[in-house]
Chains A and B, each alone.
Chain A
Amino acid sequence: MARDGGVSCLRSSETMRVGIGGMESPPLDLDEVHVLAVDDSLVDRIVIERLLRITSCKVTAVDSGWRALEFLGLDNERASAELNRLKVDLIITDYCMPGMTGYELLKKIKESSSFRQVPVVIMSSENVLTRIDRCLEEGAEDFLLKPVKLADVKRLRSSLTRDVKLSNANKRKLPEDSVPVNTSLPPPPSPFTISPDSSDSSPPLTISPESSDSSPPLTISPESSDSSPPLSPVEIFSSPLSSLLDDEDDDVLPSSPESSPAPEESPVRRQKMGSPGLD
């Protein structure tokens, strides 16, 4: 599958190397969303790539932070003229990677003048609050718990379309919609609200808990040694538009944490300005 060692492809990769090495490729549709996905696991790379493509994103998938930097042209001091035409609308990266972690990659991206505006989303199989906080403080837009679901990516996508359209029209992004979701928090000052994930609880898929062995019920529990309660992944951008689009998320399964009914398990937006302690 991975032909040149770094870039995975389960299909023809016409989107690879967009903007690098001259612009032989046709000009990109400005409304197209181009995502750079970074994950050292081939299985995860294929899955995230498919998730993104099924939500109409162009995807470039690489297997390490170094390759990501290489793709972005950040791996050396030399500024490249072509890079101004490299359009990356979102970078989504795994946290735990050998060599350069997703956090380190995040930092490098935020340090770069060309790409610091690009939203960076971190994915991790481990629900570690300190990790989540650290990433958000460093400028990550969102933190997704693995395994990533279609609903997660749809949410990302709908927010991005809005941002990309605006930035193309007005050369600026929407202000960050940092609105908490936790119902115990006071109402946010922003006009936007995040719809509770009840909108995602479409007709429940009741897979009965495994009878045979001690496998836990079908929720994502923090299997790491951290004893934090099974928090749902943070919500991304809030907007009435997103909440409207959530109605289409009838593929979200209630076994995923974001649609679990218990209030303490509802998604919590970890704001950069410092959210209340959750543990």
Chain B
Amino acid sequence: MELVQMQKSLQDYTKSLFLDGVLDSQFLQLQQLQDESNPDFVSQVVTLFFQDSDRILNDLSLSLDQQVVDFKKVDPHVHQLKGSSSSIGAQRVKNACVVFRSFCEQQNVEGCHRCLQQVKQEYYLVKNRLETLFKLEQQIVASGGMIPAMELGF
């Protein structure tokens, strides 16, 4: 595929993530922190987010599978995931965490289980999309091209 085509694909793909609400403006903020001195900043932070989130989701599954659910354990995990997803712009994950927390407050086990599924769904979605995005970027860089800056005002 031609470089120009790849760059266009990347732009369109990124745009779609915003339009679908998978990412929000915070992701753009992260991109602004990337430069020649830190060319992999975004993917580094996002990778940390993935590692963190995998762990949290695992802990959450375990906590919710207990005979007696300890919401004092569950809530801080959700809070943490909410925070980190917010920090990288994973909007739908964050929003799912907000709902999750309200069920924690109500100590609604059934509701929490549903929320966990929802959070996981959104998380795997954003993970998948971002991994695709980074692959597209890598292809462009490997072909000697530059990552196009995000177009404003779409």
Chain A residues with CB under 8 Å of chain B are 1, 10, 41-44, 46-47, 50-51, 54, 96, 98, 125, 146-147, 149-150, 203-208, 210-213, 215-216, 218, 223, 225, 251, 253, 255-256
The answer to whether A225 touches B102, judged by C-beta atoms less than 8 angstroms apart, is: yes
The answer to whether A146 touches B98, judged by C-beta atoms less than 8 angstroms apart, is: no
Most buried by B among A44, A50, A147, A204: A147
Q: Known contacts A41-B80, A204-B153, A255-B24; is A50 also within 8 Å of B41 by CB?
A: yes
The answer to whether A43 touches B19, judged by C-beta atoms less than 8 angstroms apart, is: no
Interface flag for B152 (CB, 8 Å): yes
In the assembled complex, the CB of B128 is this many whole angstroms from the nearest CB of chain A, namely: 16
13 contacts between A and B (CB under 8 A): A10-B44, A41-B83, A42-B48, A43-B45, A46-B44, A46-B45, A47-B87, A50-B38, A146-B86, A147-B89, A150-B33, A204-B153, A253-B29
The answer to whether B86 touches A147, judged by C-beta atoms less than 8 angstroms apart, is: yes
Which chain B residues lie closer than 8 Å to A225 at the CB level? Answer: 102, 105
Which chain B residues lie closer than 8 Å to A146 at the CB level? Answer: 83, 86-87
Distance in angstroms between the alpha carbons of A208 and B153 in the assembled complex:
9
In the assembled complex, the CB of B26 is this many whole angstroms from the nearest CB of chain A, namely: 5
Distance in angstroms between the alpha carbons of A162 and B33 in the assembled complex:
24
Contact partner, B19, options A10, A50, A211, Cβ 8 Å: A211
The answer to whether B98 touches A223, judged by C-beta atoms less than 8 angstroms apart, is: yes
The answer to whether B20 touches A41, judged by C-beta atoms less than 8 angstroms apart, is: no
Which chain A residues lie closer than 8 Å to B21 at the CB level? Answer: 210, 212-213, 215
Q: How many contacts A-B (CB < 8 Å)?
A: 101
Contact partner, B29, options A43, A149, A203, Cβ 8 Å: A149
The answer to whether A207 touches B45, judged by C-beta atoms less than 8 angstroms apart, is: no
Distance in angstroms between the alpha carbons of A203 and B21 in the assembled complex:
21
The answer to whether A215 touches B32, judged by C-beta atoms less than 8 angstroms apart, is: no
Interface flag for B13 (CB, 8 Å): no
The answer to whether A150 touches B32, judged by C-beta atoms less than 8 angstroms apart, is: yes
Contact partner, A150, options B29, B76, B91, B94, Cβ 8 Å: B29
The answer to whether A47 touches B153, judged by C-beta atoms less than 8 angstroms apart, is: no
Count class of interface residues, chain B = 35 or more
Most buried by A among B29, B80, B98: B29
Interface flag for B88 (CB, 8 Å): yes
Which chain B residues lie closer than 8 Å to A216 at the CB level? Answer: 95
In the assembled complex, the CB of B88 is this many whole angstroms from the nearest CB of chain A, namely: 7
Contact partner, A215, options B79, B95, B102, B105, Cβ 8 Å: B95
Interface flag for B30 (CB, 8 Å): yes
The answer to whether A125 touches B83, judged by C-beta atoms less than 8 angstroms apart, is: yes
Which chain A residues lie closer than 8 Å to B41 at the CB level? Answer: 50
Distance in angstroms between the alpha carbons of A42 and B86 in the assembled complex:
13
Instruction: Annotate B21-61 by CB proximity to A: 1 below 8 A, 0 otherwise.
Output: 10011101110110100100100110011001000000000
Which chain B residues lie closer than 8 Å to A218 at the CB level? Answer: 24-25, 91
Tell me which residues from 75 to 93 in chain B have a Cβ below 8 Å from any Cβ of chain A. Answer: 76, 79-80, 82-84, 86-89, 91-92
Which chain A residues lie closer than 8 Å to B26 at the CB level? Answer: 147, 149
Distance in angstroms between the alpha carbons of A256 and B44 in the assembled complex:
24
In the assembled complex, the CB of B123 is this many whole angstroms from the nearest CB of chain A, namely: 14
The answer to whether A208 touches B52, judged by C-beta atoms less than 8 angstroms apart, is: no
Q: Known contacts A204-B153, A213-B92; is A43 also within 8 Å of B84 by CB?
A: yes
Residue on B nearest A40 in the bound complex, by CB: B80
Distance in angstroms between the alpha carbons of A210 and B41 in the assembled complex:
26
Distance in angstroms between the alpha carbons of A223 and B24 in the assembled complex:
15
Residue on B nearest A252 in the bound complex, by CB: B29
- 6 further A-B contacts with Cβ under 8 Å, apart from A147-B26, A207-B18, are A41-B80, A43-B84, A46-B45, A149-B26, A205-B153, A223-B94
